[in-house]
A = this chain, B = another copy of it.
Amino acid sequence: MGITLAELARLVQGRVRGESGFMVERANSLERAGPRDIAFVAGAYYLNRLAESRAGAVILAEADAMRFSRNAVVVENPQLAFARVCAYLHPSVAPKPGAHHSAVLDPSARIAASATVGPMTVVGAGAVIGDSAWIGPGCVIGSNAVIGERTRLVARVVVQNDCVIGCDCLLHPGAAIGVDGFGFARDGSRWIKQPQLGRVVVGDNVEIGANTAIDRGTFGDTVIGNGVKLDNLIHIAHNVRIGDDTAIAACVGIAGSTVIGKRCTIAGQAGIIDHVEIADDVHITGASVVTNSLTQPGVYSSSLRAEPAARWRRNIARLYQLDELARRLRRLERRLQQLTKE
Interface residues of A (CB under 8 A from B): 27-29, 31-32, 77, 79-80, 82-84, 86-87, 90, 92, 100, 102, 104, 118-120, 122, 136-138, 140, 142, 154-156, 158, 160, 170, 172-174, 176, 179-180, 182, 184-187, 189-195, 197, 205, 207, 209-211, 213, 215, 218-220, 227, 229, 231-233, 235, 237, 244-245, 247, 249-251, 253, 255, 262-263, 268-271, 273, 284-292, 294, 298-310, 312-323, 325-326, 328-329, 332-333, 335-336, 339-340
Contact partner of A321 among B100, B273, B326, CB < 8 A?
Answer: B326
* Residues of B with C-beta under 8 A to A32: 219-220
Give the complex CA separation of A263 and B191 in angstroms: 10
Q: How many copies of this chain does the complex contain?
A: 3
| Given A179-B210, A306-B284, A140-B140 contact (CB < 8 Å) | no
Docked-complex contact B189 and A262, CB < 8 angstroms = yes
Give the complex CA separation of A333 and B325 in angstroms: 11
* Residues of B with C-beta under 8 A to A156: 138, 140, 156, 158, 176
Docked-complex contact B329 and A325, CB < 8 angstroms = yes
| Given A301-B307, A336-B335, A122-B119 contact (CB < 8 Å) | yes
Docked-complex contact A318 and B309, CB < 8 angstroms = no
A-B contact pairs, 29 of them (CB 8 A): A82-B194, A83-B194, A86-B194, A155-B158, A156-B176, A173-B179, A176-B232, A182-B250, A184-B229, A190-B227, A211-B213, A237-B250, A255-B268, A271-B287, A273-B286, A286-B289, A287-B289, A292-B305, A299-B308, A304-B304, A305-B316, A307-B320, A315-B321, A315-B323, A316-B322, A318-B326, A322-B322, A325-B329, A339-B339
Contact partner of A306 among B193, B219, B290, CB < 8 A?
Answer: B290
Interface centre among A193, A207, A284 (most CB of B within 10 A): A193
Docked-complex contact A185 and B219, CB < 8 angstroms = no
Interface centre among A137, A284, A285 (most CB of B within 10 A): A137
| Given A237-B250, A301-B309, A211-B209 contact (CB < 8 Å) | no
| Given A154-B160, A318-B322, A300-B307 contact (CB < 8 Å) | yes
Docked-complex contact B219 and A213, CB < 8 angstroms = no
Closest residue of chain B to A196 (Cβ to Cβ) is B86
Distance of A300 from chain B, by nearest CB (Å): 4
Distance of A248 from chain B, by nearest CB (Å): 9
Contact partner of A318 among B176, B194, B263, B323, CB < 8 A?
Answer: B323
* Residues of B with C-beta under 8 A to A83: 184-185, 192-195
